[in-house]
Amino acid sequence: MTCPICKKETVPDYRPFCSKRCADIDLGRWLTGGYAIPAEEEDLPEPPEAPRERPH
Protein backbone atom coordinates (compact mmCIF):
# COMPACT_ATOMS: atom_id res chain seq x y z
CA MET A 1 0.00 0.00 0.00
CA THR A 2 1.27 3.47 -0.79
CA CYS A 3 0.83 6.67 1.18
CA PRO A 4 -1.99 8.80 -0.28
CA ILE A 5 0.04 11.98 0.32
CA CYS A 6 3.53 11.22 -1.04
CA LYS A 7 3.11 7.74 -2.62
CA LYS A 8 5.91 6.11 -0.53
CA GLU A 9 5.36 2.72 1.11
CA THR A 10 3.25 2.89 4.27
CA VAL A 11 4.56 2.24 7.77
CA PRO A 12 2.38 0.15 10.13
CA ASP A 13 2.54 2.76 12.92
CA TYR A 14 1.10 5.47 10.61
CA ARG A 15 -0.93 3.40 8.18
CA PRO A 16 -2.32 4.37 5.68
CA PHE A 17 0.48 6.97 5.70
CA CYS A 18 4.27 6.61 5.58
CA SER A 19 5.05 9.04 8.40
CA LYS A 20 3.64 11.36 11.03
CA ARG A 21 4.34 14.24 8.65
CA CYS A 22 2.03 12.84 5.97
CA ALA A 23 -0.61 11.97 8.58
CA ASP A 24 -0.46 15.57 9.85
CA ILE A 25 -0.74 16.96 6.31
CA ASP A 26 -3.88 14.88 5.78
CA LEU A 27 -5.35 16.00 9.12
CA GLY A 28 -4.66 19.62 8.22
CA ARG A 29 -6.51 19.20 4.94
CA TRP A 30 -9.54 17.80 6.78
CA LEU A 31 -9.51 20.56 9.38
CA THR A 32 -9.24 23.39 6.84
CA GLY A 33 -11.90 21.99 4.50
CA GLY A 34 -9.46 20.88 1.83
CA TYR A 35 -11.43 17.68 1.31
CA ALA A 36 -14.85 19.35 1.16
CA ILE A 37 -17.15 18.18 -1.59
CA PRO A 38 -18.78 21.07 -3.44
CA ALA A 39 -22.54 20.96 -3.12
CA GLU A 40 -25.25 22.58 -5.14
CA GLU A 41 -27.99 24.42 -3.35
CA GLU A 42 -31.22 22.49 -3.59
CA ASP A 43 -34.28 24.50 -4.53
CA LEU A 44 -36.71 23.70 -1.77
CA PRO A 45 -40.34 24.74 -2.04
CA GLU A 46 -41.40 27.67 0.11
CA PRO A 47 -43.29 26.59 3.23
CA PRO A 48 -46.98 27.46 3.20
CA GLU A 49 -47.95 30.62 5.03
CA ALA A 50 -49.45 30.17 8.46
CA PRO A 51 -53.17 30.94 8.61
CA ARG A 52 -53.83 34.43 9.85
CA GLU A 53 -56.15 35.02 12.78
CA ARG A 54 -59.35 36.86 11.98
CA PRO A 55 -60.15 39.85 14.16
CA HIS A 56 -63.17 39.38 16.43
The CATH number covering residue 21 comes to 3.30.50.10
Q: Is residue 46 part of a domain?
A: no
Whether the pLDDT of residue 44 is over 80: the answer is no
Q: How many domains does the chain have?
A: 1
Per the DSSP assignment, residues forming a β-bridge with 9 are 2
Domain that holds residue 4: 1-30
Residue 15 lies in a domain: yes
- Is 47 part of any domain? no
Query: Which residue would you say has higher pLDDT here, 50 or 2?
Result: 2
Q: 16 preceded by cis ω (within 30°)?
A: yes
Mean pLDDT score across all residues of the chain:
89
Quick one: residue 33, left, alpha or beta (phi over 0 = left, psi -120 to 50 = alpha)?
left
Is the whole model's pTM more than 0.75, yes or no? Answer: no
| 14 DSSP assignment | G
